[in-house]
């Protein structure tokens, strides 16, 4: 199986031994504490699950700036985005060597991790803005990733962490949430050697389904990991539980047995376009996948990125050998009325827009909200039904 990033073995920071966890929870009661931002809590979940291998905790200012500017930590470890614990107030932490990190996303704010403090650094808004511009390609506060990042605070707490739980992901998505450790184990159990991964924060329509099938066939893989984001999204995105239901119905009906793993991971969407595409590839290498699909406007938002920026970054900015996982570059896919099948647009140079069945997201949401299923060439009826039920429930709530 493909090696994890930067290490011979995964480095999950979750404390497996129950007695050790109980001892750490007891210690946490005696420690100063802070409530994490949602992003920092998601970082703890990803560190706990081994997704951020080979990191051992939150980055310091030098590492954050180096990653932003050069895609490597100060010691030369390749990493595409900073993994940080930013907060607004550290007045209660003076002199502390260890602190309890509280989960903002679970009622009662239980301790999610214990951190050993290596440094607390105050970071100017100018520096944070420069970091944001490097990560997101813009400092425009209209970008949801930029506005979120710049709202976290100016104090950077760095140092290793010991993770005690996986927040709400383990309980709310018990059938879907998996750590990188668990995914590697299941790939091994299935006897898969060559595995392609598909990232999604949306339900999967026919184009997504066929893209997965194309990648599996073109690469001759043993299977595909459909890996959905379960964390915080921007307003208007479809909730994880609805996506999960729709994807499972599609896979059950249209894919052969033992060809698909449906899993999810506990991370908040960054909407960082090219940088996030590289991060997504790193996640999937740590999961044991050999290939990763990067499509048109991968992890983008609005008009902040070019259609294929998330593909060209692998050629232009990711140094050769930084990642072992290989990228499957995909074009926009749509149903061809001429060929009676879903194709990549680049493979149909004789087509015009009128030869494809193309529906805008706004149009699809409007149809679903009115109880009208999109055409079966666009969306499987099983998927459309799940989404119609969801959108109509929203209508009822606002009626």
Residue tagged active-site, from 21, 98, 190, 201: 201
Structure-token pair, residue 14: 């979750």
Residue 243's pLDDT band, with cuts at 50, 70 and 90, is very high
Per-residue pLDDT tens over the stretch 296-344: 999 999 999 999 999 999 999 999 999 999 999 999 999 999 999 999 9
- Alpha carbon of 138 to those of 133, 297, 302, 308, 362: distances in Å? 4, 16, 12, 17, 26
Annotation says 202 is catalytic? yes
d(CA 377, CA 359): 11
Predicted confidence at residue 392, as pLDDT, reads: 87
Strands (E), the chain: 33-35, 57-58, 86-87, 98-102, 111-116, 119-122, 155-163, 195-200, 223-229, 260-265, 291-294, 326-329, 333-336, 341-344, 356-357
Question: Residue 229 has what pLDDT?
Answer: 94
Is a pLDDT exceeding 90 seen at residue 16? Answer: yes
* Beta carbons of 193 and 287 less than 8 angstroms apart: no
Residue 395 has pLDDT above 90, yes or no: no
Q: Is the pLDDT of residue 398 over 80?
A: no
106-131 pLDDT, tens digit each: 999 999 999 999 999 999 999 999 99
CA 23, distance to chain mean position in Å, is 31
Does residue 143 surpass a pLDDT of 70?
Answer: yes
CATH 3.10.400.10 placement within the chain: 18-167
Structure tokens at 368: 């679903």
pLDDT at 361: 81
Instruction: Indicate whether 399 pLDDT > 70.
Output: no
Cα-to-chain-centroid distance, residue 109: 23
CA distance 386 to 240: 12
pLDDT of 167 > 70? The answer is yes
Torsion angle, CA of 64/67/72/73, rounded to 10 degrees?
Answer: 0
The string of pLDDT tens digits covering residues 187-211 is 999 999 999 999 998 899 999 999 9
pLDDT at position 237, please? 81
**For residue 346, what are the CA distances in angstroms to 340, 351, 385?**
16, 9, 31
Record the pTM.
0.95
pLDDT tens across 376-389, in order? 999 999 999 999 99
| Contact status, residue 73 vs residue 138, Cβ threshold 8 Å | no
pLDDT at 152 over 90: yes
SS3 238: coil
Arithmetic mean of pLDDT, 239-243: 90
Asked if residue 161 has pLDDT above 80, the reply is yes
259, 325, 244: which is closest to 287 by C-alpha?
325
Count Cβ atoms within 10 A of the Cβ of residue 204 and give its class: 0-12 exposed, 13-18 middle, 19 or more buried: buried
| Residues of each domain in the chain carrying CATH 3.40.50.620 | 171-265+271-398
End-to-end CA distance of the chain: 53
Q: Is the peptide bond before 289 cis (omega within 30 degrees of 0)?
A: no
User: If you average pLDDT over residues 168-183, what whole number do you get?
Assistant: 96
Q: Which of 70, 109, 130, 202 is catalytic?
A: 202
146 SS3 class: helix
Indicate whether 138 pLDDT > 70. Answer: yes
pLDDT tens profile 255-311: 999 999 999 999 999 999 999 999 999 999 999 999 999 999 999 999 999 999 999
CA distance 103 to 100: 10
pLDDT band at 185; cut points 50, 70, 90: very high
pLDDT-above-70 percentage for the chain: 99
pLDDT at 220: 98
pLDDT tens for residues 355-368? 999 998 889 888 98
Query: 53 to each of 43, 89, 162, 346, how far by Cα in Å?
Result: 12, 29, 14, 36
Beta bridge partners of 357: 335
CATH topology of domain 18-167: Sulfate adenylyltransferase (3.10.400)
CA nearest to 269, candidates 261, 259, 260, 279? 279
Summarize the confidence of residues 65-84 as an average pLDDT: 98
92-126 b/e (C-beta count within 10 Å ≥ 16 → b) = ebeebebbbbbbebeeeeebbbbbebeebeebeee
- Reference 174, options 109, 241, 113; nearest CA is 241
Give the position of tokens 């595995």: 195
Determine whether 201 is an active site residue.
Answer: yes
Overall fold of domain 171-265+271-398: Rossmann fold (3.40.50)
Encode pLDDT of 30-57 as tens digits. Answer: 999 999 999 999 999 999 999 999 999 9
């Amino acid at each position: 199986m493909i090696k994890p990033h930067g290490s011979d073995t995964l480095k999950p920071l979750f404390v497996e031994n129950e007695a050790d966890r109980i001892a750490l929870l007891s210690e946490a009661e005696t420690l100063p504490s802070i409530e994490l931002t949602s992003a920092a809590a998601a970082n703890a979940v990803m560190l706990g699950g081994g997704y951020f291998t080979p990191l051992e905790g939150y980055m310091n200012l030098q590492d954050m700036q180096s990653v932003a500017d050069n895609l490597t930590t100060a010691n030369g470890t390749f990493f595409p985005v900073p993994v940080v614990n930013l907060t607004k107030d550290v007045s209660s932490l003076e002199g502390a060597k260890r602190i309890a990190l509280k989960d903002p996303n679970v009622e009662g704010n239980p301790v999610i991790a214990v951190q050993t403090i290596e440094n607390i650094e105050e970071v100017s808004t100018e520096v944070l803005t420069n970091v944001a511009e490097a990560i997101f390609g813009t400092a425009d506060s209209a970008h949801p990733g930029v506005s979120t990042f710049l709202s976290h605070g100016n104090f950077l707490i760095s140092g290793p962490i010991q993770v005690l739980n996986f927040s709400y992901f383990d309980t709310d998505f018990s059938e879907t949430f998996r750590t990188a450790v668990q995914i590697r184990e299941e790939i091994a159990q299935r006897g898969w050697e060559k595995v392609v991964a598909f990232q999604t924060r949306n339900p999967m329509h026919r184009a997504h389904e066929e893209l997965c099938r194309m990648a599996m066939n073109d690469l001759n893989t043993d299977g595909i990991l459909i890996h959905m984001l379960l964390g915080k999204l921007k307003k208007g995105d479809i909730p994880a539980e609805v996506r999960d239901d729709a994807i499972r119905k599609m896979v059950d009906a249209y894919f052969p047995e033992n060809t698909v793993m449906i899993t999810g991971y506990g991370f908040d969407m960054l909407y960082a376009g090219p940088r996030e595409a590289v991060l997504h590839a790193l996640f999937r290498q740590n999961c044991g996948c050999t290939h990763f699909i990067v499509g048109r406007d991968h992890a983008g938002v609005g008009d902040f990125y070019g259609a294929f920026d998330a593909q060209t970054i692998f050629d232009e900015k990711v140094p050769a050998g930084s990642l072992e996982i290989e990228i499957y570059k995909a074009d926009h896919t749509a149903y061809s009325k001429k060929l009676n099948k879903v194709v990549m647009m680049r493979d149909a140079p004789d087509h015009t827009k009128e030869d494809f069945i193309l529906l805008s997201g706004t149009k699809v949401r409007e149809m679903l909200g009115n109880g009208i299923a999109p055409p079966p060439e666009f969306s499987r009826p099983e998927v459309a039904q799940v989404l119609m039920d969801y959108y109509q429930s929203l209508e009822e709530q606002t009626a």
